[in-house]
Amino acid sequence: MRKVTVVGTGSIGRSWAALALARDLEVIATDPAPGAAERLRGEVARHLTALGAEDRLPGLTFEPEPRAAVAAADLVIEAGPERLDLKRDLFCALDDAAPPDVLLASSSSGFGPSAFQGGCRHPERVVVTHPFNPPHLVPLVEVVGGRATSPETVESAMAAMRRLGRRPIHVRAELPGHVVNRLQAALWREAYHLVGTGAVSVADLDAAVASGPGLRWALLGPIATQHLSGGPGGLGHVLEHLGPPMVDWWHALGDPDLTPDLVDRLVDGVATELEGRDEEIRGRRDQALLALLELKRQAGLDPQEES
């Protein structure tokens, strides 16, 4: 793999482009939006600086015509809007223009490939490779095949993501939101409920996760963490003794509606928490992510396979 085409240059597309460039690949980006080329170059340059790969910017080219952009690609990554009608039309066009052996990968955060691969002549090469935002920093990518996706395509997608330095997981069923967004939605559901009932403030809820379980989950994940908390008996011991009360907690979890009052409470709460320092905090977070990934690597806690 030498050349990656990124279709769509919003925040996800720009991040994909920077990642591919930093991995010594050429990138062709395409987007019909006015001013897309200028915005792309500035944001990609900023991402490359964060990755210590400023010298890779000349490897980026912009091609306004999608068909021309994919004609010479070894991998096509679609990062357009999350609109099913648009994805169906777009993948038909990409499938028509790209060489038949080139992988067509969507960044869709919720749709499985079956929803938009049906009109393609080669639906077997269409797959979802859903990144975790921002893709140039966070290693996780969910690989999802559709009804017509071949096993070889899934394997190729896993290999392509490893070539990009990512940590792919194979999601073996098409589910709304895949796996990770469903896990996030479960946490957000109870978080919104707790804030909405007045049990906790937005700032204290964020602190509860970031200063507590989030620290451990960043290193091992929730099930391995639960296993280690069980001592010699491990997960079996935990589930034997704490499983029944946990089931009771499940039954007591909230089922909130996003009412205007709850939305206002959440928005006002995070505004108070961050005090208008969004960009500053985002920059610090991104630097801390890089440091955390390096710490995990040094500690032998990074499951990323060698690429």
> Is the domain of 15 the same as that of 159?
yes
Decide: pTM greater than 0.85: yes
pLDDT single digits (tens) 250-300? 999 999 999 999 999 999 999 999 999 999 999 999 999 999 999 999 999
| Angstrom distance (rounded) from CA 33 to CA 66 | 12
Q: Which of 216, 224, 150, 140 is nearest to 179 (CA)?
A: 140
Provide the residue range defining the domain that includes 224.
Answer: 180-276
**Residue 65: count of CB within 10 angstroms of its CB:** 11
The tokens for 300 are: 């032998």
End-to-end CA distance of the chain, in Å? 12
Q: CA 77 to CA 8: how far, in whole Å?
A: 9
- Tell whether 24 and 147 lie within a shared domain: yes
75-78 β-sheet, strand order: 60-62, 26-30, 3-7, 75-78, 103-106, 126-131, 140-145, 167-171
* pLDDT range class, residue 302, cuts 50, 70, 90: confident
Per-residue model confidence as pLDDT tens digits over 162-213: 999 999 999 999 999 999 999 999 999 999 999 999 999 999 999 999 999 9
133: DSSP letter: S
Do 75 and 93 reside in the same domain of the chain? yes
List the one residue out of 1, 146, 179 whose CA is nearest residue 77.
1
**Co-location of 150 and 241 in the same domain:** no
Looking at the fold, whether 154 and 15 belong to one and the same domain comes out as yes
Per residue in 126-175, pLDDT tens?
999 999 999 999 999 999 999 999 999 999 999 999 999 999 999 999 99
- pLDDT at position 305, please? 45
Number of domains observed in the structure of the chain: 2
